[in-house]
Amino acid sequence: MINLVETFSEFNDIKNIDRPAMVRVLEDVFRTLIKKKFGSDENFDVIVNTQSGDLELWRVREIVPDGEVSDENKHISISEAMAIDSDYEVGQECYEQLHLDDFGRRSILAARQTLVSRIMELEKDDVYKKYHDRIGELVTAEVSQIMKKEILVLDDATGHELVLPRTEMIKGDFYRKDEMVRAIIKKVEMKNNTPSVVLSRIDPLFLERLLEQEVPEIEDGVITIKNVVRQPGERAKVAVESSDDRIDPVGACVGMKGSRIHGIVRELRNENIDVINYTSNEALFIQRALTPAKVSSVNIDFDKNRASVFLKSDQVSLAIGKGGLNIKLASKLTGYEIDVFREDQEIEIDDVDIDEFADELDTWVIDALKAVGLDSARSVLALSKEELMRRCDFEEETAEDILAILAEEFEDSDEE
């Protein structure tokens, strides 16, 4: 009898590997050992006790009269059989137990190496499968090593090493060794035949999981998160819906005096989170998505999947947001390309009508600006270069020139 726990001591700590898979590997390794020594494993039994780790190898051959052995792997002479057990008779099957020593030291070392390799493969497959099934799950991990492009962390639940790339970290994230990190499992990939579990703190799902953890009504299914969009570390918009008319989904997510949302905001490095009440009324949903701006009216072109939003002059910059971020997130949240227009055509006292720039801007440029409701200098300057390019279909150089010319007008005014 061979005790695997003693013979292969390096496997004492194997706990998570599927036992039937372990048995198959052990049988395969020892059948390979048998084939090398005897040329075939057809008449051999490999018996593994998964509880104790014991292994038994038995050679089974038919007993034939002396001198009639034609195949030593199938037959054994009666005299050899009786040397094993005196009660054997011709015609019976002879069971002969084999021992590790029968295979020689070199063969045993080779078997050990093969077994180690196969067990490591099983462990890798087990890690890959378990974490692949957990993609999107929130984990808490301890920082173990800080590197230039990533930090390595240890899963608090399993002890496995996970990777948090710096590209998946929020701007402002800074960690020291042994600090705790929260993130979601984004993906599991094989690198050099080894599973690599990649975490993320910038994925919208991370914010969704934090909300589920902080808001019991979400976990209970009373409140549903319909969509989440983010610019990590800057702003996020979350659309929520309640299945119970008595529960305000926005109020439940924010909490009394912001008690629930404040913890999440701190976790996300002061990311500004707009929680919005979802509605199937698309015009109303677009209106809510542009918070904190107050929208006067919305016109939707369903064929082009675009929405024209009209606001008072003092609400335009709020709707667009710094660098066009607010309108960009609102578009992602609702699924519509949103164009912002001023509700009235009055020009602010310190504003300048776009027609006044006829000497510096081409006529087609002025016409393109006015066609999308940008009829004053300040309404154009409220947009980022990217938003101006998108709305008017300008080349980057054209957009830069327009913004520079209009900005210069107000610089001159300030100097005067």
Both 57 and 92 in one domain: the answer is yes
Within this chain, do residues 145 and 108 fall inside the same structural domain, yes or no? no
| Shared-domain flag, residues 152 and 78 | no
Q: Is the peptide bond before 292 cis (omega within 30 degrees of 0)?
A: yes
Contact 222, 258 (CB under 8 A): no
pLDDT of residue 5: 41
Identify whether residues 120 and 189 lie together within a single domain: no
In a domain, 64, yes or no: yes
Say if 157 falls within a structural domain. Answer: yes
Domain span including residue 176:
134-202
Q: Within a 10 A sphere around the Cβ of 235, how many other Cβ atoms?
A: 18
Instruction: Examine the domain organization and report whether 47 and 167 are in the same domain.
Output: no
For 224-235, what is each residue's pLDDT tens digit? 999 999 999 999
Determine, yes or no, domain membership for 89.
yes
Residue 365 domain flag: no
Asked if the structure places residue 125 within a domain, the reply is yes
User: What is the pLDDT, as a whole number, of residue 28?
Assistant: 84
Picking from 107, 131, 155, the residue at the C-terminal end of a domain is 131
The CATH code of the domain that includes 197 is: 2.40.50.140
pLDDT at 246 over 50: yes
120/226: higher pLDDT: 226
pLDDT of residue 12: 42
Neighbours of 111 (CB within 10 A): 20
First to last CA, the chain: 101
- Chain center to CA of 218: 21
The answer to whether position 401 is within a domain reads no
Q: Mark whether 94 and 174 lie in a shared domain.
A: no
Greatest CA separation found in the chain? 123
Going by pLDDT thresholds of 50, 70 and 90, the confidence category of residue 18 is: low
CATH number of the domain at 120, please.
Answer: 3.30.1480.10
Total domain count, the chain = 2
One domain for residues 110 and 145: no
3-state secondary structure of 186: strand
Mean pLDDT of the chain: 86
Bridge partners of residue 238, in order along the sequence: 228, 275
With a cut of 50, say whether residue 10 has pLDDT above it: no
Q: Are residues 126 and 142 part of one domain?
A: no
Q: For 70-99, what is the mean pLDDT?
A: 89
**Same domain? 9 vs 127:** yes
Segment 315-361, tens digit of pLDDT: 888 898 888 899 999 999 999 999 888 876 444 446 777 888 888 89
Question: Is the pLDDT assigned to residue 15 strictly greater than 70?
Answer: no
The shares of helix, strand and coil residues in the chain, as percent rounded to the nearest 5, are 45, 25, 30
135, HSE (Cβ side, Cα atoms, 13 Å): 11
Rounded CA separation 318/324 (Å):
9
d(CA 85, CA 68): 20
Domain boundary among 202, 230, 250: 202
| 162-184 tens-digit pLDDT | 999 999 999 989 999 999 999 99
Residues 184, 69, single domain; the answer is no
Q: Of 398, 373, 370, 371, give the one whose Cα is nearest residue 386.
A: 398
| Same-domain status, 6 and 127 | yes
Give residue 17's pLDDT band: very low, low, confident or very high (50, 70, 90).
low
- Asked if 224 and 243 count as a contact pair (C-beta separation under 8 A), the reply is yes
Mark whether 153 and 123 lie in a shared domain: no
How far apart CA 377 and CA 348 sit, in angstroms, is 10
CB within 8 Å of 127: residues ≥ 6 apart: 160, 195, 197
55 neighbors 46 (Cβ within 8 angstroms) = yes
Position 173 in a domain: yes
Using the 3D structure, point to which of 73, 99, 131 is the last residue of a domain: 131
Question: How far is it, in rounded angstroms, from Cα 326 to Cα 269?
Answer: 18
Query: Nearest-CA neighbor of 171 among 268, 264, 272, 273?
Result: 268
- Whether 405 is in a domain gets the answer no
Segment 276-301 shows an average pLDDT of 93
